[in-house]
């Protein structure tokens, strides 16, 4: 469950899921159901092949009754470049139509000028093909969709205070002020694993998790810290409590403690509500949280912290929090 939660809170996974949901809503729900494409003013060149053949057969019948060569050539031009091939197919299977009428119409399709008795032959200029409405609107719709997508990306970046080059920033390494504790130098047993994680105001998707492996590379469990409670409304989120958790593959449950701000810890209602998630602990510089499972022991130390300030109550939300997570094996 914790691994699934970690996947869901990753920006890349959220972005892909949002794209798929948007595609389904836009294409299926809006495009095919609520507002399907309505074809109007379509020309013969937009018809399927079988309907183009029907159109040309009607044009042949019309030309037989009214031998208007200019009108006939216009109708041939409206069908498009496939007209000669379709007429050849009609000639091979004339059906009830006279072969002579089909051949006379084919001559017009092949560019033979209409001959009117008593006048010299004159070529009829081809009718200008009119672009269909769909071909006109499609580029416009694509451009509008692209602009909307770019606008959504810009809103996402601004809301999360992330620059384009740092959409998925790497996990911060400890600075000189936040070095890993050297337990071996202090005469203690070297830990199995040691991690450092930092939250900063504006990182609304903060949820760090780390894999715990044996020296031989065997998976033993996971640990991590994520947002548990926020205060107020609006962006960015104002975090007032975190969940520090430890998962042991040899245990039946995940152990959790809740690291709380001064304001949240002092409020009896908030403290009791968050106690359902884990033991409440007041966040203070140097404070250590100890979590134990069947085979693992985790010490989470508050390395650095500071509160934010605005219209919220004093010491109610964090501007920054750095935790060191150290894991030992109990076996």
Mean pLDDT within 199-217: 94
Pick from 267, 288, 289, 271: nearest CA to 280: 271
pLDDT of res. 134: 54
Closest CA to 245 of 266, 218, 226: 226
Pull the structure tokens for residue 240: 């007032």
pLDDT band at 195 (very low <50, low <70, confident <90, very high): very high
Beta-sheet pairing, 279-282 with 255-260: parallel
Mean pLDDT check: name the lowest of 28-42, 111-125, 197-211.
Answer: 111-125
Lowest-confidence pick of 75-89, 171-185, 191-205, 262-276: 171-185
Mean pLDDT of the chain: 80
Q: How far apart are CA 79 and CA 73, in angstroms?
A: 10
- Please determine, for residue 167, whether its predicted confidence score (pLDDT) is greater than 60: no
Q: Mean pLDDT across the stretch 5-19? A: 65
pLDDT for the residue numbered 279? 94
Which pLDDT does position 31 carry in this prediction? Answer: 65
Asked whether the predicted pLDDT for residue 312 surpasses 60, the reply is yes
Residue 260 pLDDT class (50, 70, 90 cuts): very high
Better-scored residue on pLDDT, 292 or 18: 292
pLDDT given at position 166: 40
Give CA–CA dist 209/71, Å, rounded: 75
Mean pLDDT of 23-44: 71
Q: In this model, does residue 171 exceed pLDDT 50?
A: no
| pLDDT, tens only, 94-140 | 888 888 888 888 788 776 555 444 444 444 444 455 555 556 666 77
Which range (156-170, 206-220, 247-261, 280-294) has the least confidence? 156-170
Q: What is the mean pLDDT of residues 55-74?
A: 86
Mean pLDDT of 211-233: 94
Q: What is the pLDDT of residue 116?
A: 42
């Amino acid at each position: 469950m914790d691994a699934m939660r970690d996947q869901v809170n990753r920006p890349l996974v959220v972005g892909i899921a949002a794209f798929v949901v948007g595609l389904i809503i836009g294409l299926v729900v809006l495009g095919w159901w609520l507002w399907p494409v309505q074809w109007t003013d379509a020309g013969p060149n937009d018809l399927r092949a079988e309907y183009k053949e029907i159109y040309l057969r009607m044009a042949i019948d019309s030309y037989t009754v009214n031998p208007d060569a200019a009108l006939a050539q216009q109708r041939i031009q409206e069908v498009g470049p496939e007209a000669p091939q379709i007429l050849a197919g009609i000639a091979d299977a004339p059906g009830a139509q006279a072969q002579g009428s089909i051949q006379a119409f084919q001559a017009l399709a092949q560019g033979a000028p209409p001959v009117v008795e008593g006048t010299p032959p004159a070529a009829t200029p081809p009718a200008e093909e009119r672009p269909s409405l769909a071909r006109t609107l499609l580029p416009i719709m694509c451009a509008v969709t692209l602009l909307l997508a770019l606008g959504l990306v810009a809103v996402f970046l601004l809301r999360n205070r992330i620059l384009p080059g740092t959409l998925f920033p790497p996990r911060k390494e400890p600075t000189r002020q936040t070095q890993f504790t050297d337990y071996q130098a202090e005469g203690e047993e070297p830990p199995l694993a040691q991690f450092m994680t930092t939250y900063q105001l504006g990182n609304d998707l903060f949820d760090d998790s780390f894999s715990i492996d044996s020296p031989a590379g065997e998976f033993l469990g996971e640990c991590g810290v994520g947002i548990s409670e926020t205060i107020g409304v609006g962006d960015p989120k104002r975090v007032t409590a975190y969940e520090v958790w430890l998962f042991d593959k040899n245990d039946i449950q995940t152990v959790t403690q809740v690291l709380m701000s001064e304001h949240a810890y002092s409020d009896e209602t908030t403290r009791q509500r968050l106690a359902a998630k884990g033991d409440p602990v007041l966040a203070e510089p140097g404070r250590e949280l100890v979590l134990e499972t069947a085979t693992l022991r985790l010490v989470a130390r508050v390395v650095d912290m500071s509160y934010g300030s605005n219209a919220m109550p004093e010491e109610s939300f964090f501007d920054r929090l750095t935790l060191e997570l150290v894991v030992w094996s109990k076996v």
